[in-house]
Chains A and B, each alone.
Chain A
């Protein structure tokens, strides 16, 4: 299972386009708050010239890159800085080994499966400071870090007895691990919204996309995961169907990172990737095609909306803003900050928790100043982080849409990690 030659060299070679201009440096949210991270240019295109394509890399500082991807996005010259860093991090990890904690954080399915049968105990434990302190010591998961609660009944269980409506318009739903184990209501609402718009939703069995493995530097298992996922998302009879993702990070993995960071070259994955849409990207497209139902009831709320890094990484603009803008009564305040700090599992780690909180500080301050009723964000880990840091209820923007379509209170869910 060797990664593709071309995919691998293309990212590395992009360092040739770096003219050291410092655009990435001035935009990096991590370098802005800690000197442990010398900045994207330094650990990226600059350090890459000192790394052999084989052999180990000497630089532990790259491990402080949160992988938010801002650098790649702002680089005017097309240097794949974040991707270079992710690969370097994997090599660094290859040298130092991966801790038990990182193995666990990299496998949400495992955590979910282990936790689910004993959900009440597990969730109780999450709230117990002494236990969290112990976990911090033993595992290195920061005691105050936002961890999701496991639900007793998975999303798949909840939809298993559903009677899907028949429709010539079909889509495949890529729900990801988080919906299955932690936020099943997000998945249920996604299905409801799609069905409301006349789609029959296929929900094939699916595992993890491999993103947490990838960001931990476990590239081989990550490659296996994403290839397996590509097969799961394209079962027989679903050729050519759009695949809808409600998790921005899992969507990004399938759309770009599997190829650009992991170097996976796989026809099946490429096909799946071409058909994958972020939920709001899809809905905004429906609207432009005049097909989105707008039988909205007013939602009289003031919501601060934050488009997460992984969604911006998809280059789809801010489709949630476009769609929610159609809902009467809803007042949306857009938050223009580059990162909330959590970056997947980065902010959970003991040694990075403080950095992650500092990265998110400007965002949290903006939210506090805006005094919204709710905070909306498309990414689950960001919701948990923002909820924990601001104490405000957080929702996936689709929960607002669900409500506008006459569904129940958004999320009934209340707030991120504390929710349900």
Chain B
């Protein structure tokens, strides 16, 4: 018999939006199940640019988005401090940028309530020694960086603390419709193939770029166009603050210091299938060339990894007055009852990471209204786990931890300072994890060597601790080698190629992984 679960609300999609919805709904007292076909934050959320917008980027083009971002930026700093690094942001006019744009930019920021202060160029160059010395103007804004995996898991843990069930690796394969309403879904485990049913009073589709496919399971038509964005992580921080070009938003005009790397992005190109996005060599080259405009010599720096994310762009197919759709707001709450007569089913998508909390609030407001539940949203005031102290994350934190660690807890991943104990604790917390899940939890294998040194170590430890049997250990190792390869394959030149060669010597030469028994 298929296992069955009952709940008030099933949330499909464990990205920022879905996790936010789960947190919000659970904290209002609803019984929640959150399901994702993969691990949490493996969709667009885990592949975004890392920027907690101040709103400045949208000030000129989209003032309402700017205002929303400004407000959410302030809220998230208060409730999710541990996920945020207060890097600050800069808008700089490079010699190639129209200097007049800056005046309009400042005025627009003021209008949208985004604090933008002009900073003397000399001061900026002192703080950012890599920056193009030819910049003519610079403005400081409260941009920051935010860690996707930490944020999503913090939301999930907060939801769980309110009784929610978090189900990674559960794909929604069928939506159950009874009469004119959705009443649940069939979930299939991505690894075991086992299916369970979740009966729910309400279903929220937060499947991002995949939301169209999920909606179709209930016979609804949501036209999602996937827009691919390419990002390249450079091996270390070339800037200390988020640096934006002070110009009309375009490709490759933001450099974000995320954790130990700096990420240049991004692009926007339509793709047919959100599951098949690969950054091409040309796109990588274009990104690096774009970097040259504000960091001279950018191309000579080491490119560590490349990836692409997909923006879910909505094409309004059958707009009705009941829709809360508002183009300028960037996100859409689609009530399928009003739209296609399929009740108890909402699709939420679009927007930005920065506004996930707001999107969740609006969604859950609609759910509650429909269910007749009267409960106020609490997420603007309830701090997320580990953020209670309201200390921002600090780049040196891991180094400080490593310094304080006992000698006999050696580093497994030296690049990202993950110790044996870190690994074992994370593995014990969520049994059944593979190396890639541990990567997201710990940043295992995300540094310069891209796992060359730590993958085999970690495999041995997980086997020893009983988390993986022999065959699973070998398979996990091979899978991880393949996963890491995907993001460096397009970077086969310069320093990264030297690294790939050393890794090949280790994995194929010394360990002869290719001929390890299955």
Q: Which A residues contact B (CB, under 8 angstroms)?
A: 2, 5, 8-9, 13, 15-21, 35, 41-42, 46-61, 77
Contacts and interface: CB of A to CB of B under 8 A. Distances in A.
A103 B120 CA distance: 36
Nearest to B236: A49
Contacts of B448: 18-20
B403 A61 contact: yes
Given A9-B129, A16-B302, A48 B236 contact: yes
Interface stretch (B31-39, B212-220, B392-400): B392-400
Contacts of A18: 448
A20 B157 CA distance: 35
Nearest to A16: B302
B240 A52 contact: yes
Interface stretch (B335-343, B381-389, B495-503): B495-503
A5 B125 contact: yes
A255 to B, nearest CB: 24
Interface centre among A46, A48, A50 (most CB of B within 10 A): A50
A60 B396 CA distance: 12
Nearest to B449: A20
Contacts of A21: 502
A50 B395 contact: yes
A223 B393 CA distance: 34
Contacts of A52: 237, 240, 395-396
Contact of B399 (A8, A17, A20, A47): A47
7 contacts: A16-B235, A16-B495, A18-B448, A20-B502, A47-B399, A50-B399, A51-B395
Q: Say what secondary structure dominates the interface of chain B.
A: loop
B484 interface: no
Bin the interface of chain B by size: 35 or more
Interface in B221-259: 235-237, 240
A35 B409 CA distance: 13
Contact of B417 (A8, A35, A41, A50): A50
Contacts of A59: 399-400, 402-403
Given A13-B301, A19-B502, A49 B237 contact: yes
Contact of B407 (A35, A46, A49): A35
Given A2-B126, A49-B447, A57-B396, A20 B453 contact: yes
B142 interface: no
Contact of A16 (B127, B301, B415): B301
B197 interface: no
Contacts of A54: 127, 240
A48 to B, nearest CB: 7
A389 B39 CA distance: 61
Contacts of A2: 126
B452 interface: yes
B260 interface: yes
A55 B414 CA distance: 23
B439 interface: no
A50 B502 contact: no
Contacts of B415: 20, 46, 49
A46 B400 contact: no
B129 A20 contact: no
Nearest to A60: B403
Nearest to A77: B498
A18 B498 CA distance: 9
A21 B499 CA distance: 9
B407 A53 contact: no
Given A49-B260, A53-B237, 11 more contacts: A2-B126, A13-B301, A15-B236, A19-B495, A21-B502, A46-B414, A49-B235, A49-B236, A51-B396, A57-B396, A59-B399
